């Protein structure tokens, strides 16, 4: 929670997230938990310096399957990357590796829904979890 303070300061960083539709579909923690998480996601996506896109199932395989990627542009303009899987993480700061990873991110971004389409999809999943929670 302390790390999230950076997004509420005077000059928050730009944050661009691409998530797989599976993160919306898989009911981790039950319907009530998913409602809370998706509402939080929608609040975050509403911030001016935040973009959230969803990679839908319909796009099939994509270059980000099997792990997560964080790209961070530092104040000096350098970019560093963190590649994570279910049990490990690997930092990358060599220019060649960062370019390879940035290319993967860019390809995933090109396959993802627009931010408006993504938010609409999140809202549809939220409605489904709300309906499940009511029953």
Note down pLDDT in tens along the chain; length 135 residues: 787 888 888 888 899 999 999 999 999 999 999 999 999 999 999 998 999 999 999 999 988 888 899 999 988 999 999 999 888 899 998 999 999 999 999 999 999 999 999 999 999 999 999 998 776
First to last CA, the chain: 32
What is the value of pTM for the model shown? 0.89
Residue 126 tokens, joined: 């939220």
pLDDT of residue 53: 97
- Indicate if the alpha-carbon torsion angle 98, 100, 102, 108 is positive or negative: negative
pLDDT the model gives residue 135 = 66
Sheet holding 79-84, edge to edge: 68-73, 79-84, 89-92
- Is the distance from CB of 40 to CB of 80 less than 8 angstroms? no
Q: Which two tokens stand for residue 91?
A: 């930092």
């Amino acid at each position: 929670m302390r790390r999230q303070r950076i997004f509420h300061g005077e000059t928050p960083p730009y944050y661009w997230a691409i998530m797989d539709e599976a993160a919306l579909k898989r009911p981790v923690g039950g319907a009530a938990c998913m409602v809370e998480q998706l509402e939080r996601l929608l609040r975050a996506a509403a911030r001016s310096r935040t973009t959230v896109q969803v990679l839908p199932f319909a796009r099939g395989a994509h270059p980000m399957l099997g792990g997560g990627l964080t790209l961070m542009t530092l104040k000096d303009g350098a970019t560093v990357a963190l590649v994570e899987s279910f049990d490990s993480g690997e930092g990358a700061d060599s220019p060649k590796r960062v370019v390879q990873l940035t290319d993967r991110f860019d390809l995933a971004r090109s396959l993802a829904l627009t931010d408006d389409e993504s938010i609409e999809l999140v809202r549809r999943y939220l409605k489904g979890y709300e309906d499940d929670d009511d029953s």
